[in-house]
Amino acid sequence: MTLVLKKLLFPFISLLVFLAIWQVAAGRYTPEQFPAPTDVLKAIRELADSGVLWSHIGISMARFSTAYLLAVAVAIPLGLFLGSFNRCHAAIDPLIQVLRPISPIAWFPLAVLWFGIGNAPAIFIIFLAAFYPVLLTTISAVRAVPPVYLKVATNFGAGSRMTFLRVIVPAAFPGIMVGLHIAVGTAWIHLVAGEMLGAQSGLGFMIVDARNFLRTDQIMAGMLLVGLLGLIIYRGMKAVERIVGRAWGIAA
Amino acid sequence: MSGAGVAKIQFSGVEKSFTSARGDVQTAVSRLDLDIQAGEFVCLVGPSGCGKTTLINLMAGFEKPSAGSVFIDGRAVTAPDPDHIMIFQDYGLYPWRSVLGNVLFGLQARGVSPAEAKEKALAALELVGLLPAVDKHPHELSGGMKQRVSIARALAVEPSVLFMDEPFAALDAFTRLHLQDELLRIWKEKQPTVVFVTHDLDEAIALGQKIVLMAPNPGRVQRVLEVKLPYPRERTDGNFAVFRKELFEEFHLVHQQAHEASEYVI
């Protein structure tokens, strides 16, 4: 009973209060300046009925997953390599530290110059946003593998291949998972930014397009959907983490 | 078993020094000679800084001597060997593997066939009384059970030497006593050579046939004490108390010397 109260009722009440404040506050302005929740809901239904909403969401999700998976596929092996070899890490670390603080958005002019308009620059931006968190957490996860794990492996005569695949990789995995988690967040944030700057489709474009027609209700509808989809992706990630945690014998 | 008169583990003029971050050279173990016979249970005791952990790491091949050599079965130790397994105080279990999976690790590393590996692993787990827990993960086990798993993992590969670096130091007193008895039972059954590092003098007397008392600055052997008491040893027995008194007095002497030496340094 108390669990249901905590998990459902309390969030529901706070949501209602939030919507009520929003509705009252919006009443003091024109809908073009500050649309009410009801206006936003209407806009979502309008977009859904015309079918544009679904295609924008589909395109955004496709770009997001392509770029994210690409970043993971490059960053994890590179991170495992750099984490395992101290000299390579020492050589490359300064370069990473210089490139990392550059916002993916700052790459945009170059991305358009190199890849033109369309999917590629947006994917490039999301790729960069996901790449560094995964790379850096993978490197530190490998470097943080307890020395006793490696001592046990050498003591039992495990070869370097077995030590890498069956000790270092699984030992680093929970740490890598943290990076995958962070990267989902940063990648999703930059998806909208990437699509706002150069794409002709997707949720980011939908928001920019709505701005050009001063459809404030549609702008907010886009924002709300970005938030909701982000929540769903985050929840999915949590579920995967729980499954992994169980397999790794870490109490979730 | 090695031939008569030839020791299983032999130190000849072993010296180990470390260079600190400031560049000072510190001698952890100085010019040490020591023989350990096959099947013998030897305890290394001494105050902190006396080099007992360094000594066991030298034997296990995790560290290399600065001078001299450690010989096991007549061959100089250069690297860790699956025939000489080290058991650590913090277990070194792999949390993503089940109890059975952990015990299988050493056999897999050796390339034993899956069926045979499983048979050997289960036999080792039976020996430490953990058959009911084979599917559990390390985080579900108590400290005492974790150390049993790491002992089973070692026994599964049938090593001729077990190195134990303060294996029971993190356990509560009751579990420690229980595991000491278990270890003796396993040692009697399997007859490996055991080198056991501890800072607990009672533990050393309860377990060791031979106690090597070490002294610090630089690390060296102060005295080798033969404990000629039959197993199982009654800890409240009068003879136990005699050895206890002797060892404690010697230990106090070592402590005093170490203390005086450090006063000169400061």
Question: Which of these, A113, A109, A104, lies nearest to A131 by C-alpha position?
Answer: A104
The confidence band for B218, taking pLDDT boundaries of 50, 70 and 90, is confident
* Residue B113: per-residue pLDDT: 96
> Are the beta carbons of A148 and B96 separated by less than 8 Å?
no
Q: Stretch B113-125: mean pLDDT, rounded?
A: 96
Paired with B193 in beta bridges are: B161
* Residue B6: per-residue pLDDT: 77
The confidence band for A251, taking pLDDT boundaries of 50, 70 and 90, is very low
Mean pLDDT, rounded, of chain B = 89
The confidence band for B265, taking pLDDT boundaries of 50, 70 and 90, is low
Give the span between the Cα atoms of A62 and A195, in whole angstroms.
12
> Are the beta carbons of A152 and B110 separated by less than 8 Å?
no
The region of weakest confidence among A11-25, A44-58, B44-58, B182-196 is: B44-58
Q: Stretch A225-229: mean pLDDT, rounded?
A: 94
Radius of gyration, CA atoms only, chain B: 19
Give the span between the Cα atoms of B56 and B86, in whole angstroms.
9
Min distance A87 CA to chain B CA atoms (Å): 20
Give the span between the Cα atoms of A176 and A142, in whole angstroms.
9
Give the span between the Cα atoms of B163 and B224, in whole angstroms.
18
* Residue B18: per-residue pLDDT: 85
| More confident: A130 or B219 | A130
Q: Stretch B134-159: mean pLDDT, rounded?
A: 94
The residue in chain A having the minimum alpha-carbon distance to the alpha carbon of residue B138 is A249
Q: Stretch A204-208: mean pLDDT, rounded?
A: 93
Question: Which of these, B2, B7, B9, lies nearest to B162 by C-alpha position?
Answer: B9
| More confident: B33 or A38 | A38
| More confident: B261 or A95 | A95
Burial class (CB in 10 A: 0-12, 13-18, 19+), A158: buried
Give the span between the Cα atoms of B225 and B247, in whole angstroms.
8
The confidence band for B252, taking pLDDT boundaries of 50, 70 and 90, is confident
* Residue B34: per-residue pLDDT: 87
User: Three-state SS across chain B?
Assistant: CCCCCCCCEEEEEEEEEEECCCCCEEEEEEEEEEEECCCCEEEEECCCCCCHHHHHHHHHCCCCCCEEEEEECCEECCCCECCEEEECCCCCCCCCCCHHHHHHHHHHHCCCCHHHHHHHHHHHHHHCCCHHHCCCCHHHCCHHHHHHHHHHHHHHCCCCEEEEECCCCCCCHHHHHHHHHHHHHHHHHHCCEEEEECCCHHHHHHHCCEEEEEECCCCEEEEEEECCCCCCCCCCCHHHHHHHHHHHHHHHHHHHHHHHHHHHHC
User: Angle at which helices A86-99 and A119-143 pack, to 10 degrees?
Assistant: 140
> Are the beta carbons of A156 and B85 separated by less than 8 Å?
yes
Q: Stretch B105-127: mean pLDDT, rounded?
A: 95
The residue in chain B having the minimum alpha-carbon distance to the alpha carbon of residue A247 is B96
Q: Stretch B163-176: mean pLDDT, rounded?
A: 92
Give the span between the Cα atoms of B34 and B44, in whole angstroms.
12
Domain spans, chain B: 93-158
Residues of A within 8 A of B162 (CB-CB) are none
* Residue B251: per-residue pLDDT: 82
The region of weakest confidence among A6-10, A102-106, B89-93, B256-260 is: B256-260
The structure's pTM equals: 0.85
Superfamily of domain A42-247: MetI-like (1.10.3720.10)
The confidence band for B1, taking pLDDT boundaries of 50, 70 and 90, is very low
Query: What ipTM was assigned to the predicted interfaces of this complex?
Result: 0.89
A243 at interface of B, judged by CB pairs closer than 8 A: no
Give the span between the Cα atoms of A212 and A191, in whole angstroms.
20
The residue in chain A having the minimum alpha-carbon distance to the alpha carbon of residue B87 is A152
A12 at interface of B, judged by CB pairs closer than 8 A: no
> Cβ–Cβ contacts within 10 Å for residue B107, how many?
24
Min distance A237 CA to chain B CA atoms (Å): 20
Using the predicted structure, report yes or no on whether residue A75 has a pLDDT greater than 60.
Answer: yes
Min distance B180 CA to chain A CA atoms (Å): 22
* Residue A1: per-residue pLDDT: 60
The confidence band for B212, taking pLDDT boundaries of 50, 70 and 90, is very high
Using the predicted structure, report yes or no on whether residue B2 has a pLDDT greater than 50.
Answer: no
Whether A154 contacts A27, CB under 8 Å: no
Q: Stretch B44-52: mean pLDDT, rounded?
A: 86
Q: Which of A149, A158, A249 sits opposite B109 (nearest CB)?
A: A158
Residues of B within 8 A of A155 (CB-CB) are 60, 80-82, 84-86
> Are the beta carbons of A156 and B105 separated by less than 8 Å?
yes
Using the predicted structure, report yes or no on whether residue B84 has a pLDDT greater than 80.
Answer: yes
> Are the beta carbons of A249 and B139 separated by less than 8 Å?
yes
* Residue A252: per-residue pLDDT: 39
- Enumerate residues 6+ apart whose C-beta is below 8 A from B77: B58, B59, B60, B61, B69, B70, B71, B84
> Are the beta carbons of A162 and B109 separated by less than 8 Å?
yes
CB pairs under 8 A between A and B: 66
Give the span between the Cα atoms of B154 and B105, in whole angstroms.
10
* Residue B235: per-residue pLDDT: 84
A252 at interface of B, judged by CB pairs closer than 8 A: no
Residues of B within 8 A of A167 (CB-CB) are 94
% of chain B with per-residue pLDDT over 90: 62
| More confident: B109 or B22 | B109
Residues of A within 8 A of B140 (CB-CB) are 249
> Are the beta carbons of B98 and A155 separated by less than 8 Å?
no
> Are the beta carbons of B110 and A157 separated by less than 8 Å?
yes
A167 at interface of B, judged by CB pairs closer than 8 A: yes
Residues of B within 8 A of A249 (CB-CB) are 95-98, 137-140
Q: Stretch B217-232: mean pLDDT, rounded?
A: 87
